[in-house]
Amino acid sequence: MKIDNWLKDNTFHHSTFSDLADLVREKEKQNLKISLCIPTLNEERTIAKEIILFHSELMVRYPLIDEIAIIDSGSSDNTISVAKSFGAETYLASDILPHLPPKKGKGENLWKAIYQLDGDIIVYIDADIKNIHPRFAYGLLAPLIYREEIKYVKAFYDRPLAFSEGIRPSGGGRVTEILIRPLFSLFFPELSAIIQPLSGEYAVRREVLEELHFPIGYGVETAHIIDVYSKYGLAAFAQTDLDQRVHRNQETRSLGKMAFGILQTFFGRLQTLNLISDLPELSTVLRQFQVHDKDFEAINMTIVEEERPPMLSIPEYLTKRGIKKND
């Protein structure tokens, strides 16, 4: 599929889908159930606003979403109690499939959501969005509802960074532009058409999610895109312009940790797809530095991108969904 054609046919602006009544009619016509998952870790400041908005606008006013659930990594603040008080279903990731050794990471929450939630489509939305709006959900769901061949919809947006003095007019997406876009351009040129592959907002059909391996950490979005592309091609993707997303800034050091985890996942996928061979065993230790007066202190961190297997390999999931092993 030519990139120019895909950009023309599969890139949308959220305003295209502003007729929510029509969107709900089409959803009901197809008898779809839609789940919203918000993965959380210490998000007491923003979670209430997200729950209130999505419940009032996309469950009560327009019944587009059937359930809103918080999957939490073990917050030490009041995230869970706040979410419960505003009516969201709340789950600790460690309480879902509790016989499995617990793992920490956003990808773990996303994976556990497949088991816990019932939707034919799951839309994932980060919990730290300061300018939350219904478009963050309906803009991603609409391409899946209106076009059967689309399987995975990513968000893109301007990403001003929130600072104490206000909003900086540009910035964000640094790991994408410095790391992911060059790697995609080298190894998967068609995937360079995805404007923000690392965006935390996306909607996916269940039958796709349950087939995917899930890195539990920073590599989950990169792995998804490569795996879906490898099986279905670029035509399975769409992307929606959500205008602007205001969120917390991350320090450069944190972005380094993210890049290190993503690289582990990326090189693993290259090996699986036989795009590289004879790769040496990769180190899992990231060395960074901080300065005390004139002294440089090395900080060594072990970052291992473990992965959960496809949910279809989990017996409890098959039982819950009524799926026979030979289906």
Which of 241, 247, 107, 225 has its CA nearest to residue 171? 247
- Among 38-47, 74-83, 281-290, the range scoring the smallest mean pLDDT is 281-290
For 24-101, strand residue ranges (E) read 34-40, 67-72, 89-92
| pLDDT confidence tier of residue 162, bands split at 50, 70 and 90 | very low
Q: What is the pLDDT of residues 10-26, one digit of tens each?
A: 999 999 999 999 999 99
| pLDDT confidence tier of residue 326, bands split at 50, 70 and 90 | low
| pLDDT confidence tier of residue 246, bands split at 50, 70 and 90 | confident
Tokens matching residue 312 = 């279809």
In angstroms, rounded to a whole number, what is the distance separating the alpha carbons of residues 236 and 232? 6
- Among 53-57, 177-181, 247-251, 281-285, the range scoring the smallest mean pLDDT is 247-251
In angstroms, rounded to a whole number, what is the distance separating the alpha carbons of residues 203 and 142? 9
In angstroms, rounded to a whole number, what is the distance separating the alpha carbons of residues 253 and 290? 10
DSSP class of residue 61 equals I
Q: Is 314's pLDDT higher than 90?
A: yes
Task: Kindly state the average pLDDT of the residues 314-319.
Answer: 97
pLDDT on residue 252: 84
Task: Kindly state the average pLDDT of the residues 295-304.
Answer: 88
Q: What is the CATH number of domain 3-321?
A: 3.90.550.10
Average pLDDT, the chain: 92
Q: Is 134's pLDDT higher than 90?
A: yes
Q: Is 67's pLDDT higher than 80?
A: yes
In angstroms, rounded to a whole number, what is the distance separating the alpha carbons of residues 145 and 143? 5
Q: What is the pLDDT of residues 198-238, one digit of tens each?
A: 999 999 999 999 999 999 999 999 999 999 999 999 999 99
Contact assessment for residue 86 and residue 51, using Cβ atoms and an 8 Å cutoff: yes
In angstroms, rounded to a whole number, what is the distance separating the alpha carbons of residues 38 and 137? 11
Q: What pTM value is reported for the model? A: 0.92
